[in-house]
Amino acid sequence: MNTPGTTPAEHPPHGAAVRRGPFRAGERVQLTDEKGRMNTITLTPGGAFHTHKGFLLHDGLIGALEGSVLTNTSGQLYQALRPLLSDFVLSMPRGAAVVYPKDAGQIITMADIYPGARVVEAGVGSGALSISLLRAVGDAGYLHSFERRAEFADIAQGNVETIFGGPHPAWKITLGDFQEQVVQEEEPGSVDRVVLDMLAPWECLDAVATVLAPGGVWINYVATVTQLSRTAEAIRADGRFTEPDAWESMVRGWHLEGLAVRPDHRMVAHTGFLLITRRLAHGVTGLSPKRRPSKTDFSAEDLNAWTPQAVGEREVSDKRLRRVARDASSTIQRGALPAEEAQARRDQLADAAQDPIQDAGER
C-alpha cells in the first residue's frame, strides 16, 4: 500500500521526472532579470544567452538547482526557473492561435475531466489544450486528438513531447475530419468527454451524440457571438442533449508595490466563449426551458457567411507552418530521452514537416 502523495518508483507519472532535479541539457529554462523581464532559452552545452548587457553561459545553468540566481559577464543577475505550463504555452512554437491557460483551466474543471477519463478533442492547433488534457487524464487515461492539417499535428506533437520529455502513453492523434473519423475510430457511447475547438461545432452533432456516453460532457470553445448562438440553437433543436450553458472568463492582474496596490492597466479579456452540454440517455428527449417566443432561425444569408475569414481567422502559409514545425521538433528535451531516441523523434518530425502531404497519407 502506497503512502498518500507517493507513487511506485517503477511507475512514476509520465513527464514528472523532467520537472524535478537539476537543470539538464536540452531543457527549457526561464530567465528573469532584476526588472522582471523574462526570456525562455533551451540549454545547450557550450551555448550562451546574449543581451546588450553581456552574456550568460549555458554551462553555468546545466547541473544547477532550479531557483538559482546567476550572474552574467557584466554583473547582471538572472533568476532561473523551469517555465510553468502557462509560461510554456505562451512561448512555445505555434502555427495556430492557442487556447489560453485561463480557458484551458475552465475546460478541465467545468467539463470535469478526471484521471482515467476517455476524451476526444478537435482541432489540435499547436497542442496547448492537448497538454492540459493529458495532464488531467493521466497515464491511465485516453486522449484522442483529431486535426485536419498535418502541419498543425506536427507542431502539436513537437510541443507535447517537449513538455512531457517524449511521447505520452495516453495520447493518440489522427489526421482527418472529426465528424467522419471519430465514428470510425471510437465505439458508440465509449467516450466520456468531447472538447471541440473549431469553426462550426454544430456540424458535429451526430458524431458527438454517437460516441459520447450518456451523461458525458460536450464542451465547445468558440471565438464569436454568432458561433456561440448557432451552436446553442443547434443543440437545443437536436434534443439529445441538456440545455446548453455558456460563459467567458476574463483575468485582471494587480500591481503590488508597497501601498500602491491597484489593478493592472491591461488585462486578458475576451479570448473565446465556452459552451457546455451533456448527453442524455438514448431515446430520451431533453427538457426545454419555458421562455418567450423569439426569432431564432438563421437566414440563408447567415448560413452562407460562415467562412474562416468572416469570423476573423487569418490564413497561415504552408511555408510558415513548416518552419514552426521544425522549431517545435527542435525543442524536444534531449535530456528526457536516450540521445539516439530523441534524435530519431526530431528527425521524424522534421521529415513530416518537410513533406506534410506524404505524412498525411502514411497516417
pLDDT at 345 over 70: no
Report the alpha-carbon distance of residue 111 to residue 116 in Å, rounded.
14
Cis preceding linkage at 216, omega within 30: no
What pLDDT, on a 0 to 100 scale, did the predictor assign at position 327? 75
Between 45 and 295, whose confidence is greater?
Answer: 45
pLDDT band (50, 70, 90) for residue 286 = confident
- Name the amino acid, one letter, at 96: A
How far CA 311 is from CA of 97, 147, 165, 198, 222, in Å, comes to 14, 20, 36, 11, 10
**196 is written with which cell numbers?**
471541440
What pLDDT, on a 0 to 100 scale, did the predictor assign at position 295? 58
**270 is written with which cell numbers?**
475576451
What pLDDT, on a 0 to 100 scale, did the predictor assign at position 255? 92
For the full predicted model, state whether its pTM sits above 0.85: no
Give the pLDDT mean for 183-211.
96
Task: Please write the tens of the pLDDT for every residue from 216-265.
Answer: 999 999 999 999 999 999 999 999 999 999 999 999 999 999 999 999 99
pLDDT at 305 over 90: no
Residue whose entry in the numeric block shows the C-alpha cell 508597497: 258
Q: Which residues contact 343 (CB under 8 A, 6 or more apart)?
A: none
Task: Please write the tens of the pLDDT for every residue from 35-64.
Answer: 989 999 999 999 999 999 999 999 999 999
Q: What percent of the chain has pLDDT above 90?
A: 64
First-residue to last-residue Cα distance in the chain: 42
Q: Which residues contact 12 (CB under 8 A, 6 or more apart)?
A: none
pLDDT band (50, 70, 90) for residue 14 = confident
